[in-house]
Each structure stands twice: as C-alpha cells, then as structure tokens.
Structure 1
C-alpha cells in the first residue's frame, strides 16, 4: 500500500467519521470520494458501509437510553426499511442507479435550500406512525438501489420537533441496520478481499477517532442547532451526489 493510498484512506475516514459522529449519517457522502481515488467502486462501497456501521456504534451508544425509551418509534422505521432493501436491489435491474441518485439529489437540494435558510424551522409535531413507516420503507429502497438510505429519513426527521437525542435515536440505528444488511450482501459477493481488509486497517482507527470529535461537537449543539445542521447536511448531501454522478 503506497503512501498516497494511505493518505486518501485516512482523509476519507476523517471526513466520514467526523460527520457520522456529528449527525449520525453522511459517512458515504463525505468519505466515498476519497476512497474511489484509490479503490475500485465495490471495494470503496464495502469500506464505507463497514465504517458507517462501526463508527455509528459509538453514536448509538450515546443515545441508548432514548432508543430504549422509544423502541416502537424506531421499529416503525427499521422494519419497513428492511423490507425495502430487497426491493431496492431488485430495482437495480430495471432502473439505472445513477439516474435514481440524481432524482434523490434534486429533492435534497430543493428541501435543503427551502428550509436551510429560513429564520424559523418547521415543526411537524403530531404522531404520524404510517408516514414514519413509509419513510423507513423509502429509505430501505433507496439504500438498496442507490446507497442513500439516510437521505429520506434525514429530511423527515429534521422537521420533527424532537430533541437532538430523540432524532439521533432513530436516524443512527436505522442507518446502522440498513447498512449492516448491505455489508452482509457485499460479503457474500466477495467484496471484502485482502485489499479491502488492508484498507480497513487504516480507516478503522482514524474513523473512530474522528467520530469522537464529531460526537463532542454534537454534545455542544442545541436541539434547534442540531435540526439546522441536519437540514444543511441534506443540502450538502444533494450537491455531493450530483457532483459524484457528474464527475464519475
């Protein structure tokens, strides 16, 4: 492994780990570009998925009490999400993934621009179990078809007037479960070869440290500040997807 390869892997792990520690999502958006410079696409996605789950476990731990307090809330996102993953994978044979990612990116950019710069954030407070389930299902579909499982849930959760810990108690474990499913499928496809394992030896310690820094920033944010961070990250995620597709 060359010095430049190690550098790109560490940069990706730093960027993805910090964002995951801060918000509970976004690892792929901020890390994948660095990994694709030195790894083939399957290996890069395999590393991102593994790192997302691994560094995400730290975030799950800090909101464990909120998860235990509202297990039914989390379940109505996760269970439909798991059902959506196979459908998303099946859609890959019928729909070009790049086009689907651009459609998602357009929604993210419009949403982020509309809400990101408003003085007052929206607050959709009434219980919506069926909408939550549909959002989880859509997240699973987009996760299987375009590797953007957190995009739709992040949009929805950013307008819920929950505390930052309550929001993270849904978003972080949701992404972890969906991406664990992705890891299992990639493993069966042989994606975790010796090259991928060597890359993980570099990215794991770097990502874990960067995630701790992100978590420290998360702890300092107010509930409103965290919601605004999610909306701005939604905009950045949309722009990042467009740039990835155009430059790739």
Structure 2
C-alpha cells in the first residue's frame, strides 16, 4: 500500500476485526469491512477479509482448543455447508442488499431485546439435532448473503444460555469450516490474486496482534460480560448491515 494513511486505516480495521474475532469468535468481516470497504475495491477487500478471518479462526482454534467440544458439531456444520448452496443461487436471484437490510434490522431488534432481559435460557440446552440443523442451514444461507455465518449460531447459543466456553466450542469450528469451504470456492474461481498475498504480508503484524489480544481478553472476561459483548457486536453488526 503506497499511501501511508490508507495503510494505517486498513491496519486499524484489520486489528479491530481481529480483536473482536479473537474475543467472541466471529464478526471479523463486519468490523474490518466497515473500514476496508471504504478504502479498497471489493475485489481486493473481500478476499483479504476472507483470508484474514480464516487466520484469526485458526489462531483462536489453536489457542482455545481445550474449550472446543466436538460433540454435536457434525449436524450443525454439515447443514451449514448445505445452506451455502442456496445462498449462491439467491445471490443471483434476489436483491442481496434488501436482504442485508432486513437481516440487519432483525439483528438490531434481537440484540436490543436480549440486552434488556435478564440472562436466562429460553431454549433447552439439550435441544436435539433438528433445531441445530435448522440453525446451521440458516447460518449457511445468511453467511453466503452477508458474510456473517456466525450470527445465527451465536444467537442460538445465547437462547440456550450456554456459557462462553461452550459457545466458542460450537461457533468457532462452524465458522472455520464454512470459511474454508468459501475459500476453496474462491481459489477455484481464481479470486485470490498476488495483491491479496501481498496485502496479507503487509497487514500480518496487525492481524496477529489483534487476534492475540482478543484471545487474551476472552480468558479475562466472565460469562456475563461475554454475553453482553456478543450482543453488543450483533447490535453493531446489525446497524452496519442496515445502513
């Protein structure tokens, strides 16, 4: 990046996105994209955000591997991958902008409602495979249209009243798998260019520092603060999608 000011702003966006992703396990693109998409063209910003997000997921999975509980994940993940297929179709047959606005408003209403109510499980924590399948499939569709596959699974965890370690154990592998699948598609269509690799090298320090700080913060916060942070991020993400 030849422009020092742009370099600093992009570094700040990637750092902020990595901190949030390291802390709550999702929303890298929602945070970083608020800056990157105003500076870089989408053909450069989207592959860069995808690559950076996968790196933060890998760092978090490695650092938090002791919290990941694989039981029950296959149902969520397989249905999430299946949900990506209709998302590809919908991208070409519906107004994705209108969908993003509608989903953004839904996120805002949900986050506000949950922030105003006491913490308590609404759905049984022992809910079976069918609800997980629906959430996983819906997350795949939403992820394909909004680049936020973790929103619905995070909401599902909140409705079940799961503590932060169980939430990360469910959401983190789900997002990582869907992003790897999306990466494979992008590689198949030669979406990644030499400029993406160059940008990854340039912004690696900001990415690494942000991800590390996010993981450290995850260990510091308690379940109540983690819940509030997740809901606040969903609220901000909803606003960013809706405007």
Identify the TM-score tier after normalising by the shorter chain.
Answer: over 0.9
What is the TM-score when the length of structure 1 is the normalising length? 0.91
Distance 2:71 2:64 in 1: 15
Aligned to 2:35: 34
Paired residue for 2:120?
Answer: 122
Aligned to 1:6: 7
Give the secondary-structure state (helix, strand or coil) at the position aligned to 1:192.
coil
**Shift of the alpha carbon at 1:136?**
0.6
- 1:246 alignment counterpart: none
2:154–2:167 Cα contact (<8 Å) kept: no
1:121 positional shift:
1.5
Instruction: Work out the CA distance in 2 between the residues paired with 1:77 and 1:44.
Output: 28
> Could you report, residue by residue, the CA deviation over 1:28-71 in whole angstroms, capped at 9, with x for unpaired residues?
0110122123321132111111111101112112332332xx32
Partner of residue 21, structure 1? 22
User: Would the aligned equivalents of 1:49 and 1:180 in 2 still touch at CA under 8 Å?
Assistant: no
Displacement after TM superposition at 1:175 (Å) = 1.0
- Report SS of the residue matched to 1:229: helix
Provide the residue aligned with 1:101 in structure 2.
Answer: 100
Q: CA deviation at 1:127?
A: 1.7
CA distance in 2 between counterparts of 1:84 and 1:230 reads 23
Q: What is the TM-score when the length of structure 2 is the normalising length?
A: 0.93
Corresponding residue of 2:76 = 77
Separation in structure 1 between the aligned mates of residue 236 and residue 34 of structure 2, nearest angstrom: 14
Map of 1:145 onto structure 2:
145
Aligned to 2:109: 110
Cα contact 1:43–1:191 (8 A) shared by 2 = no
How far residue 160 of structure 1 moved from its aligned partner, in angstroms, is 2.1
**Structure 1, unaligned runs of 5 or more:** 244-248
Q: Alignment length, in residue pairs?
A: 240
Task: Please show how residues 206-225 of structure 1 align to structure 2 within 5 Å.
Answer: 206-225=206-225
User: What whole-Å deviation, never above 9, does each CA across 1:189-210 have from its counterpart, x for those lacking one?
Assistant: 2221122222111222211111
1:171 CA drift (Å): 1.0
Deviation at 1:146, TM superposition (A): 2.6
Instruction: Indicate conservation of the 8 Å contact 2:22/2:212, yes or no.
Output: yes
Equivalent residue, structure 2, for 1:45: 46
Q: Is the 2:70–2:170 Cα contact (8 Å) retained in structure 1? A: no
Structure 2 unaligned residues grouped into runs of 5+: none
Q: 1:180 matched to which residue of 2? A: 180
CA drift at 1:72: 3.0
RMSD across aligned positions (CA) = 1.5
Report the CA distance shift for 1:206/1:165 in structure 2 as closer, same or farther (over 3 A): same
Partner of 2:233: 233
More divergent stretch after superposition (2-11 vs 22-31): 2-11
The aligned runs of 1:152-191 (5 Å cut-off) are 152-191=152-191
Looking at structure 2, the residues matched to 199 and 126 of structure 1 have their Cα atoms a distance apart, in angstroms, of 42
Greater Cα offset, 188-197 or 171-180: 188-197
